[in-house]
Structure 1
Amino acid sequence: MEYSQRERLIQDYIAAYNSFDVEAMIAYLDDDVRFVNIAHDEINLSLMGRRAFWDQAVQAADFFSERKQTVLSYNHTSEETEILVQYHAILAIDLPNGLQKGQVLDMNGRSIFKFADGKISSLTDIT
């Protein structure tokens, strides 16, 4: 897949994420997608398959009244594309970790995408 096609796919996926459109997010994923979330150098979530991703994405959408990822840069290799992202969100509920409804989250992170057959086959989010 050409780098420009990867970027378009990532942009479309993030646009769906930003608009809470889980169905559209899923449309960009391979059936056997692997999702990993890493925070503070520890894996705190690992999923396999579109159904598992769907379930988690629907649940996570309820956590936020607003959320937005903005791509700051792309770095392509033959195997993957890494993006640097700026993340902004406002919590819609109190979370068990002590974060409270209405709290604003602003952070930078990175996401690593891999691709197969024109879809996202792996996504790793790192903060």
Structure 2
Amino acid sequence: MKTGMSVNRKDEVACIEEYVRVYNSFDIKGMVELLHPDIVFRNVANGEVTIETHGIEPFQQLAQQSAGLFSSRRQTILQDIESDGSIEVNIDYEGTLAVDLPND
């Protein structure tokens, strides 16, 4: 962890790191336990929001569906940036599909 951070920020970064660890382990229950019930989840790829959920139940459903698509997956935190009281995390993602996806 970076030095000079407030305890609160250190705790927040540790929570993010734990989330990535359980995500990489396909531990949906562990992921959900770390989140606020009113979570707003946005997946952003190439600057565009590709999916968004509001609340823990829609997030959990999405997480379960997504986990079934992959035989392996790994997120790696590249950078975390604090701005206006929130933390933005840049992540590298690598995954192997378990199913064929339709070509649109």
TM-score class, shorter-chain normalisation, is 0.7 to 0.9
Identity over aligned residues, as a percent?
Answer: 34
Amino acid at match of 2:91: V
Deviating 4+ runs (over 6 angstroms): none
The alignment's TM-score, normalised by the length of structure 2, stands at 0.85
Amino acid at match of 2:57: R
Partner of 1:52: 58
Q: Deviations over 1:53-108 (max 9, x none)?
A: 0101000001111001111222123421112222111111111247xxxxxxxxxx
* Matched residue SS, 1:12: helix
Partner of 1:64: 70
1:41 and 2:47 aligned = yes
Structure 2 unaligned regions, length at least 5: 1-6
Q: Deviations over 1:18-41 (max 9, x none)?
A: 000000000011111101122333
CA distance in 2, matches of 1:72, 1:36: 18
Any residues of structure 2 matched to 1:11-22 within 5 Å, and which? 11-22=17-28
Residues 59 and 27 from structure 1, CA distance in 2 versus in 1: closer, same or farther, beyond 3 angstroms?
A: same
**Which structure shows the higher helix fraction?**
2
Partner of 2:4: none
- Give the number of equivalent residue pairs: 98
The alignment's TM-score, normalised by the length of structure 1, stands at 0.71
User: What is the root-mean-square deviation of aligned Cα atoms in Å?
Assistant: 1.6
CA distance in 1, matches of 2:98, 2:35: 26
Any residues of structure 2 matched to 1:1-127 within 5 Å, and which? 2-97=8-103
CA distance in 2, matches of 1:78, 1:43: 20
Structure with the larger RCO, 1 or 2 (CA within 8 Å, 6+ apart): 1
CA distance in 1, matches of 2:18, 2:27: 11
